[in-house]
Amino acid sequence: MREIELSLNQTQKIRLQRALDRLQSLSSKSTSNSSVTVADTIPVNDEDGILKGHGTLEVDSEVVATVCGVVERVNKLIYVRSLRSRYKPETGDIVVGRVVEVAQKRWRIEINSNQDAVLMLSSVTLPDGIQRRRTPIDELNMRNIFVENDVISAEVRNGQHDGIWQLHARSNKYGKLDRGQLIAVPTYLVKRRKQHFHQLDKYGVLLILGCNGYVWVGELTEAKDSMEVDDVNESEKSNAKSSDQTKLEENYTALETRENICRIANAVRVLSILGFSITVEVILEMCELSILLNLDIHDMLGAEFCVTVAEKEAVRRSL
């Protein structure tokens, strides 16, 4: 469990400790054989040809763990996967990142890893949506697509020989993210799943659980059809550009939607504080619980709600 820094009274401390002890006893049943701490001996059953990987060291003919984590075995290779480490990309991962530099034919993206990733101009969908070769004019207009500090979603493509990973965003579901909140959580709290994009129609919110520990909570907007855009004549385009009121309407987010975004974002923060796995099911349960308790959005980050969530999670896991 992560160290919890909350201003708890004596009663809340006792309740929270009971819930954490119960969760610890439930989790230890399944992870006692694979979890290790520093200086723990890793049993190898006198196997020959054992390869010692990351997080292991041989001391007096025994394999000893040098970091806290989970023991992983791949054929003859034994290593310890550290729980609290920076994100290590894998091909196919869905990530949320921030643009830090616009370079020649590429953007440099910060993805909470040891090195920044690279998004090539040839790996994005252009605004017109037509698949064609990128020309020097497209390179000059790169800032019309992404600029510094833009938050984007993409997929990990592959890695280069120098350790720099490439991203791609050649799909309508990837691209620039706006009108929302970006939340950073420990990477081990977000598990790799088949689906990381979640459209919460009930709340009008788009939730993206990035494998790199970046969670996006924003307004759910409908993508415009490219054919529909092409049908708009030039006079309508010029009128739309000259109308400030139209721009304000396009960038306006309803108050109810903004409140839902903040409520879901606070649910993610509470899960991060408690060190619980972040899934869309648990997030929705926390939102419904806060509404049932008639809590304001800012009260969700209070000590009482965190203790209540820990008790509910202990009961859920025991069942």
What residue segments make up the domains of the chain, in order of their start? Answer: 1-32+179-319, 34-85, 86-177
Is 34-85's fold the same as 86-177's? Answer: yes
Per-residue model confidence (pLDDT) at position 225: 38
Tokens of 259: 């409140």
Question: How much is the average pLDDT of 127-140?
Answer: 78
- Nearest alpha-carbon partner for 282 in 306, 311, 316: 316
Superfamily of domain 86-177 in CATH is: Nucleic acid-binding proteins (2.40.50.140)
Per-residue model confidence (pLDDT) at position 228: 36
Per-residue model confidence (pLDDT) at position 31: 47
Classify domain 34-85 by CATH number.
2.40.50.100
Per-residue model confidence (pLDDT) at position 246: 53
Q: Which of 117-131, 133-147, 209-223 has the lowest mean pLDDT?
A: 117-131
Q: What is the pLDDT of residues 52-62, one digit of tens each?
A: 888 888 888 78
pTM, rounded to two decimals: 0.79
Q: What is the pLDDT of residues 146-195, one digit of tens each?
A: 999 999 999 998 876 677 899 998 888 899 999 999 999 988 889 888 89
Q: What is the pLDDT of residues 4-26, one digit of tens each?
A: 567 788 888 888 888 888 887 77
